[in-house]
Homo-oligomer: A and B are copies of this chain.
Amino acid sequence: MNRTLRHTSALTILAASMLAASAFAAPPGNDPAALGQIRNAALKSDWALERLADMTDLIGPRLSGSAGAAAAVTQVADAMRKLGATVTLQPVKVPHWVRGAETASLVEYAGRPAGVTQRVVLTALGGSGATPQAGLIAPVIVVRDFEELKARAAEVKGRIVLFDVAFDQQMAERGQAGTAYGQAVIYRGVGTRLAAQMGAAAVLVRSAGGADYRLPHTGASGLQDGARIPAAAVSAEDAMLMTRLAARGPLSMQLILTPQVLPDADSFNVIADFPGTDKADEIVIVSGHLDSWDLGTGANDDATGVVTAMAVIDTLKKLDFRPRRTIRMIAWMNEENGGRGGATYLEANKANAAKHIAAIESDEGSGRVFGMRTSVGNEAMKHFAPLKAALLPMQAGALQRADALGMGDLHGLEAAGVPSFAPLIDESTYFNYHHTPADTFDKVKPEDLRRHVAVMAVTTWYLANMEQPIGRANVPPRQ
């Protein structure tokens, strides 16, 4: 404050005093000056970056049930208590899957010189079953899609099925990364289950990502108790190699995967309330998910979401701004391989859904943010002009509406009528790192993180103080 006062006119000093006074009296509400102050404060702060370093450098991977996940619960709860928020740890029973050994090599193929085998880079998928400790050896069949699998159904039994379906990086660069991901990842979910049902000895998918650094991308398989077979993602390079070798003749692989499915573990959603004033019983959620996959340190997926949600409260706290509605920061547990955190919260808040005015989740990485996405009804869009105006000076004034966002932890609330919000993010390179060892702290650009916090903070504040009704999400029933 000192530096500002030194250079300002009497009029500015008067205005500043009024603002300072208002912070201690009535909340400043959604007037443009308040929104601008929040935006500017966030753009100057590295509080979120420091929390990101704490989470990724000191803890690292946070797969549900792991020591890292437990440490992250404590770390976030402590940090939120320091901000003066009211912290609740909501118990969540989570799946507990633990990676084991994972090696593979191509041991028979046409043209193989004596004594030579080719190593395949792969990583087990979440929920994968295990091979014997010494591994299994089986012929491989490579298919391009579900149609080809169906056509070759008679060959599946006892064999290793590889779905060699390439991630469409060009589509991602055109701005449709989510669609590109959806097209590829269906084989990790439905494909693995289908192969298991058809009697495959094991199932492999080509990694869903657009880079060419021979990285396998893990993620949840569609496998369930009673029908778990060994399942892994191979790098794009290895999928292409196997396709080329299969074109030369019969191909066999030795596969060792020894993950374990342990009994469900005790964990928590971290819920931190920043209480409202005159509408304290109404809730605006701002959130990210605390669990991550186990290969990287989950900086993009989704420490960024958690620390930016946390920083919303830090930003308001530093400005001494109190919202009318309660702002509820949630660090969700188990988004990656079960969705138990979101489900537990929904179950506990069913009766109270109407008091949930809106819910924000950031879970698409730390790329450049240029606005927000939302599932509010069309009729409410006109009430968001001041929010857009406040974000326009930082080139983040876009507000993109869809009938449903379907965010990992919010889709249940959305189906119950709570409008969803999410930052609108450049995802063109997001899936290159997604679920790989390379999702690490250095991938997050400090400037992009500050912008991320600014957009989240201004939006959260705006929702928590809106006079106008934003209505309920109007979600068509799921197919």
Q: Among the listed stretches A114-122, A345-353, A359-367, A379-387, which one makes contact with chain B, having 4 or more residues with CB under 8 Å of it? A: A114-122
A250 to chain B, nearest CB (A): 14
Could you say which residues of chain B place their CB within 8 Å of the CB of A297?
A: 118
Query: Within the complex, which residue of B61, B70, B118 is in contact with A60, where a contact is CB–CB below 8 Å?
Result: B118
Is the beta-carbon distance between B116 and A443 smaller than 8 angstroms?
no
Given contacts A58-B111, A245-B57, whether A438 and B237 have CB atoms under 8 Å apart is yes
Is the beta-carbon distance between A214 and B441 smaller than 8 angstroms?
no
Is the beta-carbon distance between A214 and B436 smaller than 8 angstroms?
yes
A302 to chain B, nearest CB (A): 18
Given contacts A213-B215, A440-B214, A442-B212, whether A58 and B241 have CB atoms under 8 Å apart is no
Query: Most chain-B Cβ atoms within 10 A of its Cβ — which of A59, A118, A215?
Result: A118
Is the beta-carbon distance between B59 and A113 smaller than 8 angstroms?
yes
A190 to B213, CA, bound (A): 28
Given contacts A237-B438, A237-B442, A442-B237, whether A296 and B113 have CB atoms under 8 Å apart is no
Q: Is residue A343 contacting chain B, with contact meaning CB distance below 8 A?
A: no
Is the beta-carbon distance between B58 and A112 smaller than 8 angstroms?
yes
Is the beta-carbon distance between A115 and B436 smaller than 8 angstroms?
no
Given contacts A113-B71, A115-B67, whether A213 and B438 have CB atoms under 8 Å apart is yes
A296 to B432, CA, bound (A): 20
Is the beta-carbon distance between A113 and B74 smaller than 8 angstroms?
yes
Could you say which residues of chain B place their CB within 8 Å of the CB of A86?
A: none
Is the beta-carbon distance between B296 and A214 smaller than 8 angstroms?
yes
Could you say which residues of chain B place their CB within 8 Å of the CB of A61?
A: 119
Q: Is residue A288 contacting chain B, with contact meaning CB distance below 8 A?
A: no
Is the beta-carbon distance between B71 and A241 smaller than 8 angstroms?
no
A236 to B213, CA, bound (A): 14
Query: Within the complex, which residue of B60, B119, B438 is in contact with A212, where a contact is CB–CB below 8 Å?
Result: B438
Query: Most chain-B Cβ atoms within 10 A of its Cβ — which of A68, A116, A244, A432?
Result: A116
A438 to B121, CA, bound (A): 10
Closest Cβ neighbor of A111 among chain B residues: B58
Interface residues of A in 81-119 (CB under 8 A from B): 109, 111-116, 118-119
A241 to B71, CA, bound (A): 19
Using a Cβ–Cβ cut-off of 8 Å, how many residues does chain A contribute to the interface with B? 45
Closest Cβ neighbor of A237 among chain B residues: B440
Q: Is residue A40 contacting chain B, with contact meaning CB distance below 8 A?
A: no
Is the beta-carbon distance between A57 and B244 smaller than 8 angstroms?
yes
A211 to B297, CA, bound (A): 18
A112 to B59, CA, bound (A): 7
Could you say which residues of chain B place their CB within 8 Å of the CB of A74?
A: 113
Q: Is residue A176 contacting chain B, with contact meaning CB distance below 8 A?
A: no
A237 to B112, CA, bound (A): 36
Query: Within the complex, which residue of B119, B214, B437 is in contact with A121, where a contact is CB–CB below 8 Å?
Result: B437
Q: Is residue A399 contacting chain B, with contact meaning CB distance below 8 A?
A: no
Q: Is residue A240 contacting chain B, with contact meaning CB distance below 8 A?
A: yes
A437 to B214, CA, bound (A): 7
A442 to B241, CA, bound (A): 9
Query: Within the complex, which residue of B116, B244, B296 is in contact with A71, where a contact is CB–CB below 8 Å?
Result: B116
Binary flags per residue of A241-258, CB closer than 8 Å to B gives 1, else 0: 100110000000000000
Instruction: Supply 23 A–B pairs (Cβ within 8 Å), ascending by A.
Output: A57-B118, A57-B241, A58-B109, A58-B113, A59-B113, A60-B116, A67-B114, A67-B116, A70-B115, A71-B115, A121-B437, A211-B213, A212-B438, A212-B442, A213-B215, A213-B432, A213-B433, A214-B215, A214-B296, A214-B437, A237-B440, A241-B440, A241-B441
The 6 closest A-B pairs by CB, nearest first: A71-B113, A213-B213, A67-B115, A214-B438, A58-B111, A213-B438
